[in-house]
Amino acid sequence: MAFPLENVLEAIHTMRKNPQDDKAQTYLYEWSMSNDCLNQICQILREQPDDHYLLLSILPRAKKCVVSNWVKYPENARTFYKETFSIKFDNFEGHQGILDYLVEIIAEMALKDWPHDWPSCMDYYIQRCADSPEHCIKSFSVISKILEQISESDNLTTQRRNELTQLASDLTEQFFNILNGALSNYDPELMKGPALNLLKSLCLTAPIEKIFETFSLQAFFTNLILDEKLNDLAIQTLSNILMKRKDSDQIFHEHYQEIIVYLMRFFQNFEDEKLQALLEDELRELKEIEISHLELTEEVYEFILKYLFRYTHMIEDMCVYEDSITQPNFTIVQLIYYGILNTEPSESCIESFWDLWRDILMRLVKSKKSKNIFDSLTPVTAVFDDELMNQMIESFYNSLETAISGGTIKNLSAQASWVAICSMKSDDVFSFIQNQTQMTPKICYALGILNTVLNMQMEQEVLETTLPALLNYNQSASSADFSCSLLYYLSHSTRSISAIPLLLQSFVHLLAENFSSEDEKLSKATSGSFMYSASRSPQIFWKNKQSDNTTPLYEEVVKGCNQWASLSEENALRIYCGIARIAKSMTNQEEERNVIYEYLFDGAISQLQSDDGEAISRGLKLIAQLAEMDLPGVKPRLNAIYVPLLGLVEHARDMRDSLFFMQATATLIMIFKQFDISDVAEATKLLMDILLNSTAMPESALNAINDLRRQFPPVESYGDQVRETYVKPFLTMWEHEKVMCVLQYFRFWIIPEEDLQNIIELATNCIIDARATIGKEACKLLRHVFEICRDGNHNMIIQNSKNIVHTLFTAISDTYHLQVFDSLAKTLWEFYKVINLMSINKTEFDNEVANVLSENVIFADVRNEVSSKLRTVTATLDGFKDVLRELLVSIKAANMSDKKLFKRQLKFDSIRQQLESLADIEEKSAIKAEELELLPMLAKLTISKNRE
């Protein structure tokens, strides 16, 4: 499709007048994907007058073309593009955003072509620094961006990154010459910012001596980071020096004393003469270091938090030597932590504040609670003594509001920190809370967390002591925020509240009256509190009957949430889930359970019968949730509802509403999983009849069919019809969604033997596709083929071994971004496992692999040993990855320290174990750690092993 330049300019003009114009948006998107896009952008840059809107419209598209399609352009075209953007950058004066885009584009071109196809790139900008201050500033920005991208770009293979790193390292002396020359020959005030920006990139690799020749640590701490114009750059540069360099640990040990004194100066005002005298006495060995106060800004505070998070364990080691406290380190470090605790974190510092204390407290808990005497002697226990921990309680309480959102404590590190401090000093925490004279939401949140580490007797005592006053205040204050906090406290006290009928009744009444609150935050907190309570202790809502005439509490809950129209979808789903859990716990109350089922299904069906699309969507989600929970005795009700749902699928198909279509089919599949085999066969037949006639939405239909086949193998009988209707037409198309559908089809359905050859070719072609999601799915398909061939069809693997070897080794050595390396490694591992099962001459096979690898120069020195090494380490995937990593390092396709290569992601298991330990403080009745609200969320998160 051709895109005349005048049409492109017209579409941009249309977008200027109406940014929401769909037709213009689509046209410009298709243009940006065309081969002529970058050439036409260069034509605009050369011929059109400078128009900021026009330039800001085309430059992001130009950057995308350079990143994605650069190697597709012929050499003469690439030269033309480089000249065009360089000339435009040199001559442009105006909008800083446009200059930034031009810098980024030139940097991306340099990453691709310097030095082999653009040898003059870096020399040109180095020489331009001597022309004028303006040219120097521009040249600094380009050089800095290139150096920054060498370290941080995701668009480089490791081999190319290593090459560029070495090239940049060879020019280090020249970079510092132009940097120092600019500060000497031009106005220092004008050049200080650009020079610091260049230094920021240089300091990741340049010798530390060269960096400190330009700006000393004293200059950073006492001048640069306090300069309003330079503080962001200065802090980034300081972070690179002290935390991100490979030798940052060595710099820490060499400059530790000086650094901690600077950090302390931000927190002490030195007005206390006794304190000043103490410090002067203890710093007698460091008389050359000034100890006057430095202004603490928000940016500096966040930097200090991050620095301490990185080095707090090493700092503690410097405070204690052979069981003896070392001065002045100990006093200085304690003053820093007191300063942090006495400074309320701003919004931008919240995460760093709580992350630091979580890290410290988890180690402190381990040390204090461990039965191992060596753990109890760790320096952390000396630094964080009782006085400092008492200060933590006050500071954590004052900062608690920073972790609260929507009626719960959302910040995981804050919750872990509170749990840790409560487990070690529960009496002090409770005493501190009792001494608070002002009723605030923080009281309730703090008590809620405290109860998670108390035994049942103590929890009950705390409830009886505090709850009546809190309930009375809530009734008189009419504060939504306080009600949210009170619900949090009550839902985290369900173990003991059931033993106090009056308080339990108050809790349920509070739930019922706030389900439909006009305050969105309170309504959300209420539904969340109910779901959490019903998940932990569902029996408290129905085991409270004192006699046959007593109404069970769940009926009051049901009455309170009857107005579905006033509830948000999220709240409705939470309440449904909570009520369903109550019903599920009624193992011997079938009649009462059926009453609840009737209420639940009537509510969902009323939504499905609405004319409102949002209401129907909500009804589908409610039904899916009920089906997923595997409730006892619910199958007859699901059986009665699936036929009307089939009608909804047909309606969505006729309306060509793909989202509605997929949601309805997914709900039906969830229902079918609860059916008996005979019922499933009939139900799936009805659904397949609809799906096979949904060619107006082929991707959605094939996705649903694949999902249905994955859950119900008998659907395999429709394989030929599915292939003719959907798969064959898709095989000639390379749109993302269609390719994904086809790959999943072949993975979930039985593959005829005659199709294996074509499928292997499809998978190998997709593995080298530039789209990572397609590459991962293709790896899964190829592993599926290996599994099919493992027990019999070895010849198919042998026939295609050269193609498989070429594809996998090419991808893993050069083509891919790091996020797909794990999939490739696992596929190689499965391939060699199959090879080891075959009755073939393994030496001959290794030689064939060597012949294939001889076509790739990167394997020139190791091709004869690659296959034999990998073939003999297939016992475990981790062992195979280790050998593969060593191989890639040996051919300079990876660094051994590359944290993203074959990363073994570390889940929050350590926090889980520590929280479990905290929860077991009172052995008889401590709650299980998985009851803590944060654990389900922690299980889904990962952190890097390295704190960087």
With 50 as the cut, is the pLDDT of residue 906 above it? Answer: no
The residues near 709 (Cβ < 8 Å, ≥ 6 apart) are 715, 716, 748, 749
* Helix spans in 697-800 (H): 698-711, 719-722, 728-730, 736-748, 756-767, 772-790, 794-799
- What pLDDT score was predicted for residue 104? 95
Tell me the C-alpha to C-alpha distance, in Å, between residue 832 and each of 355, 764, 828, 871: 43, 16, 6, 6
pLDDT at site 943:
40
Most confident of 319-333, 357-371, 444-458, 769-783: 444-458
* pLDDT single digits (tens) 797-849: 889 999 999 989 888 876 444 567 788 899 999 999 999 988 889 999 999 99
Residue pair 845/901 in contact by the 8 Å Cβ criterion:
no
Q: For 418-439, write each residue's pLDDT tens digit.
A: 999 999 999 999 999 999 988 9
DSSP letter at 813 equals I
pLDDT band at residue 936, thresholds of 50, 70 and 90? Answer: very low
Indicate the CATH number of 634-750 among 1.10.10, 2.30.29, 1.25.40, 1.20.120: 1.25.40
Q: What is the structure's pLDDT at 857?
A: 72
Buried b (16+ CB within 10 A) or exposed e, 608-639: bebeeeebbbbbbbbbbbbbeeebeebbebbe
**Token pair listed for 31:** 């243009």
Three-state SS string across 39-64, please?
HHHHHHHHHCCCCHHHHHHHHHHHHH
Choose the weakest-confidence range: 549-553, 757-761, 877-881. Answer: 549-553
Contact 61, 25 (CB under 8 A): no
Q: Which range scores top for mean pLDDT: 76-80, 380-384, 615-619, 884-888?
A: 76-80
Per-residue confidence band for 106, with pLDDT thresholds at 50, 70 and 90? very high
- Positive or negative CA dihedral for 363, 256, 199, 78? negative
d(CA 723, CA 763): 17
Query: What is residue 320's DSSP assignment?
Result: E
Higher pLDDT, 895 or 385: 385
**pTM, entire model:** 0.73
Phi, psi of 404 (to 5 degrees): -95, 135
Lookup result for tokens 């990741």: 204
Q: How far apart (Å, rounded) are the C-alpha atoms in residues 617 and 714?
A: 29
Which H helix or E strand runs over 263? helix 248-265
| Tokens 């060619």 found at | 695
Dmax over CA atoms of the chain, in Å, equals: 95
SS3 409: strand
Q: What is the DSSP string of 177-237?
A: HHHHHHHHHS-HHHHHHHHHHHHHHHTTTS-HHHHHHHS-HHHHHHTGGG-TTTHHHHHHH
Yes or no: say if 563 and 603 are a contact pair by the CB < 8 Å rule: no
Residue 528 has pLDDT above 70, yes or no: yes
Written in H, E and C, the secondary structure of 513-577 is HHCCCCCHHHHHHHHHHHHHHHHHCHHHHCCCCCCCCCCCHHHHHHHHCCCHHHCCHHHHHHHHH
Q: 468: closest CA among 429, 515, 500?
A: 500
> What is the mean pLDDT of the segment spanning 89-101?
92
Residue 946 pLDDT more than 50?
A: no
Q: What is the pLDDT of residue 938?
A: 44
User: Does residue 264 have a pLDDT over 70?
Assistant: yes
> 395-404, 461-470, 766-775, 922-931: which has the minimum mean pLDDT?
922-931
Residues 6+ apart with CB under 8 A from 909: none
Q: Is the pLDDT of residue 929 over 60?
A: no
User: Does 270 score more than 60 pLDDT?
Assistant: no
